[in-house]
A and B are shown apart, each in its own frame.
Chain A
């Protein structure tokens, strides 16, 4: 990419959760939700994270924004270690880093008018005067495809797609440099999803915002992201550019994921890799390569030896003994 320093650097990030189990909630086991993950996000790019549910996508997103503590590792924003900032420094950083949720409804107060909900963060962060708020809210509503009259309405009066627009408006009104969007279109119907995807494209073009875009939908990620990381049970299996990953996936898991996506063409005959079995319990992940219990190419070595996450060509990393 560029020689410029990356905006986000995630270094050996680990996030473990203590999971209570058993009948009386006393057997404590540890879920390694994120287990030694490293990657960088360059300024102005949209980095995609894909993987099945429970693979650790949301945990990485929240860790980067320090919405939760981390177990080990570093997250650098513009060179500064986010998890080592003082409270005052963090307060300064907050408006620059925003989060967009899958279901914005759960993050909107049902009794607060949408205009106030979008504008309140501006005042909280002291980013503008009270009399300027309304015009700024109006401006972002328009960017997000809503109208001025929507300001006086309550969240329940909006459809799913409109609520997602509100969530986006609330994030961009602060003029952030970086946004984590966690499954922002997954709950939407196709016709509405396309509108919101185009809104993200527009924000990428017009505002030079850097995005971490989290999704389990590989076609949406291909559409919006220039570089992509593939997660499995808290471990990065492959990382590369969109072109590298989609036209020539190297890791068996990436191949299987891509071949599992249904394509809307009934005449297409594809060689399918149908994985056997389920995603293993994250509290008790397989030894060696975590994918070996489902990998069609697994050998004895894979059961015992953890494959190194190595750079196989410029900017492209794969964790597999075969590559």
Chain B
């Protein structure tokens, strides 16, 4: 599959919590074609960040681990790589941007130093060359005043600027895959619009693939080519962005789209999904959404539906669609 950058197969990632072992990522499979943006969307705690951390090899062995699956990046299984091989890939071929830029930058190093670091580590270029590239990157992410920014420290910059710096660092070694975990959630809408615009244009200029994690369906509609909806550690629906928004299939996806207030489409009452997300430590063999689903049937309480292909390119895990796929 020369056209696939990332192929995640049957990923199972567990965390050890006070309540017991939980499957933060439970048999998740998806792939990212070259040059495409795949959005992972779902509510808090459904396992989005756990997917990203698994791909990056950043699950801390003391609190959890990957128990099953393959993560093929350009054909290589990341789970079989040695530590130093993985480190070589990280920040080079695959980069990640985190939700809180402040916590992932070193407060006592200059911005310039932090952009130069991966360049010098991975590209083996001179300090002078690295500085030139760092200044270009600062310009690229639209800050301007590159020299001044180069010499400043994280606390001297705003949240929006820091997020741009994180993007600059992530792009330093021209990665083929950029993983962005809620890159705009902590930012104001006007700054969010700037960052999304930047990510979109960078992706086009560089033919880069992107895994963008968000809980905001508005952001998904703006940037995604393909959407994956997660619920309680499982992928419950996925599909090309236009189809998925036009014709969502899973009752949870439908509910999410209806429950969100949308500007200039005011309704007297919002649709609500009753109840709340289940506790991952006490799941039973059933559709995990069954407690909240208006269309729940007897079988939903007994057996977890598998994810199946529909004929329009969408995939859904719901008993309502089981016959469709056998046609």
Q: How large is the interface on B (under 10, 10 to 19, 20 to 34, 35 or more residues)?
A: 35 or more
The answer to whether A219 and B217 touch (CB under 8 A), given A264-B245, A274-B197, is: no
The answer to whether A279 and B215 touch (CB under 8 A), given A190-B256, A193-B259, A257-B189, is: no
Q: Which residues B269-289 have CB closer than 8 A to chain A?
A: 269-274, 276-277
Interface membership of A194, Cβ < 8 A: yes
A-B contact count (CB 8 A): 129
Interface membership of B219, Cβ < 8 A: yes
* Cβ distance A104 to chain B, nearest Cβ, rounded Å: 16
Chain B residues near A189 (CB, 8 Å)?
43-44, 215, 277
* Cβ distance B147 to chain A, nearest Cβ, rounded Å: 18
The answer to whether A256 and B270 touch (CB under 8 A), given A222-B263, A278-B158, is: no
Among B27-35, B90-98, B170-178, B220-228, the one that faces the other chain is B220-228
Asked if B259 and A194 make an inter-chain contact with CB atoms under 8 angstroms apart, the answer reads: yes
Q: Which residues A212-232 have CB closer than 8 A to chain B?
A: 216, 218-220, 222-223
Q: Which residues A258-276 have CB closer than 8 A to chain B?
A: 258-268, 272, 274-275
Contact with A along B164-204 (1 / 0, CB 8 A): 00000000000000000000000011111110110000000
Interface membership of B216, Cβ < 8 A: yes
Q: How large is the interface on A (under 10, 10 to 19, 20 to 34, 35 or more residues)?
A: 35 or more
Asked if B263 and A263 make an inter-chain contact with CB atoms under 8 angstroms apart, the answer reads: yes
Residue from B188, B220, B241, B267 with most neighbouring chain A CB atoms (10 Å): B188
Alpha-carbon distance between A310 and B70 when the two chains are bound, in angstroms: 63
Asked if B272 and A261 make an inter-chain contact with CB atoms under 8 angstroms apart, the answer reads: no
Interface membership of B325, Cβ < 8 A: no
Interface membership of A177, Cβ < 8 A: no
Alpha-carbon distance between A279 and B270 when the two chains are bound, in angstroms: 33
Asked if B262 and A267 make an inter-chain contact with CB atoms under 8 angstroms apart, the answer reads: no
Interface membership of B205, Cβ < 8 A: no
Chain B residues near A201 (CB, 8 Å)?
268-269
The answer to whether A278 and B161 touch (CB under 8 A), given A256-B190, A266-B241, is: yes
Alpha-carbon distance between A318 and B273 when the two chains are bound, in angstroms: 39
Chain B residues near A309 (CB, 8 Å)?
none
* Cβ distance A143 to chain B, nearest Cβ, rounded Å: 16
Residue from B190, B193, B220 with most neighbouring chain A CB atoms (10 Å): B190
* Cβ distance B84 to chain A, nearest Cβ, rounded Å: 39
